[in-house]
Every structure is written in C-alpha cells, then in structure tokens.
Amino acid sequence: MAANQKIVFALVCLFLACDLALSQQQAANSSAAESDVAESRTFGHHFLRRISFALVPGAFVVGVITTLLAALTVVSIKGLGVGVILLVLAIGQMLSRALPVQAAAAYAAAPVPAPVPVVYSHSHTQQPVWLEKEW
C-alpha cells in the first residue's frame, strides 16, 4: 500500500511539474502576443492618428446637422403658432354663426332716437346756433 501511495505521489508531482512548465511557456507566448496586439496596424498608434484626423470633420458635420435641426424646429414652431391662431379664429367664426345672437335682436327692436341737438356758439353771436345731428 505504501508503494502505491509513493507511485501516486510521484505521478502527482510529475503532473504538477509539467503543468508548471507548460503554464510558464504559455505566459511567455502570451506576453509576446500582447506586445504584437498593442502595436498592431489595426488598433495601434496609426489607428489613433486616423481617428484624430477624422474627429474634426466628424464634429463639424455633427455641428452643421444640429444647427439645421434647430432652424427647422424654429420654423416648425412658428408655423404651428400661425396654425393655432387661424384655428382659434375659425372656431370663433363658427361659434358666432351657430349661436343665436340676442344682442342684435335687442338693437333691431329699439326705436330710433331723436337727433341730439348740438349747441354751437361764438363769442360774437348773441344767440346760440342749434344744429341737429344724428349719431
């Protein structure tokens, strides 16, 4: 039994030694691969330079689009305001035609008043001049 335990212990130690050697080799390979990835043509220094060159025209385009959208919004709101004013006037006109008017009937039934005399006088005349005027 002791011999079996020694064999198993020796195999486990051999397995751990191989695993340690393999992991060190993979670490060395991955550090070399990381240096390649950090300096690659796609995401390296040249990529950042290309992005910095494209940043200014991109910002300009975004600014132009924002300005045009703001102008379009102002014009749309102005048109909406004019439309609302015209709608209120149209509704008022429809209501004035549809509802009965009692004030107009009262004016039509009232008798015509007599003309109001107006006194017109100068200092050189003794008698005032009465003028008849209809209002």
74 assigned to some structural domain: yes
82 assigned to some structural domain: yes
Same domain, 61 and 98: yes
- How far apart are the C-alpha atoms of 133 and 115, rounded to whole Å? 6
Q: How far is CA 80 from the centre of its chain?
A: 16
What's the domain count of the chain? 2
Domain of 65 in residue numbering reads as 50-102
Question: What pLDDT is attached to residue 47?
Answer: 74
Per-residue pLDDT of the chain (135 residues; tens, 9 = 90+): 666 777 877 777 777 777 777 777 776 666 555 555 455 556 666 777 788 888 888 999 999 999 999 999 999 999 999 999 999 999 999 988 888 766 655 556 566 666 665 655 556 656 655 666 665
Question: What pLDDT is attached to residue 82?
Answer: 96
Question: What pLDDT is attached to residue 13?
Answer: 76
In 3D, which of 89, 133, 90, 86 has the Cα closest to residue 114? Answer: 133
What the block records as the tokens of 27 is 């670490």
79 assigned to some structural domain: yes
